[in-house]
Amino acid sequence: MDKINIQEKFALFTEQWSPRIIARVGDMHVKLARIQGPFEWHSHENEDEMFFVVEGRMTLKFRDGDVELGPGECISVPRGVEHMPVAGQETKIMMIEPVGTVNTGGNVSERTVEARWI
C-alpha cells in the first residue's frame, strides 16, 4: 500500500472541471478536481456525492438556496437533488461518489467527461 499525497496529485494536472480518480474505497471513487467559474445545473438520479474543499472557495447552488464552502469544509448532496458548483477563483476540491458517476449527471453536454486515474 502506498500513501497518497493530495498536493502532489493536484500538481500532476491543470485542467479544470476534469476530475481525476486517486483512490477506490469499496464501490466509491475518491476524485480530485480543479474548478473555476460556474459548472451546469445537474442531478444524479442514483448517486449521492460529497464535495470537500481542499483549497479556495466554492458555492454549491441549489434551487432553494446556496451553500458557501471554504477550505476544510464539505457537503453531501443526496441523489436526485439538482445542484450547480461555482467557484470565483480556481478551487481545489475532493469528491467522493459511486464508481461510474458521470460529472454532469443525466445531462450530456460539452462539460461531460470521464474521470481518469492519476
Domain 35-100: assigned CATH number: 2.60.120.10
Q: Using an 8 Å Cβ cutoff, are 103 and 115 in contact?
A: yes
Q: Name 62's Cβ contacts closer than 8 Å, sequence gap at least 6.
A: 81, 82, 83
Between the CA atoms of 50, 75, 52 and 36, what dihedral angle is there, to the nearest 10 degrees? 100
**C-alpha gyration radius of the chain:** 13
Q: Tell me the domain boundaries of the chain.
A: 35-100
pLDDT in tens, 25-40: 999 999 999 999 999 9
pLDDT in tens, 72-107: 999 999 999 999 999 999 999 999 999 999 888 888
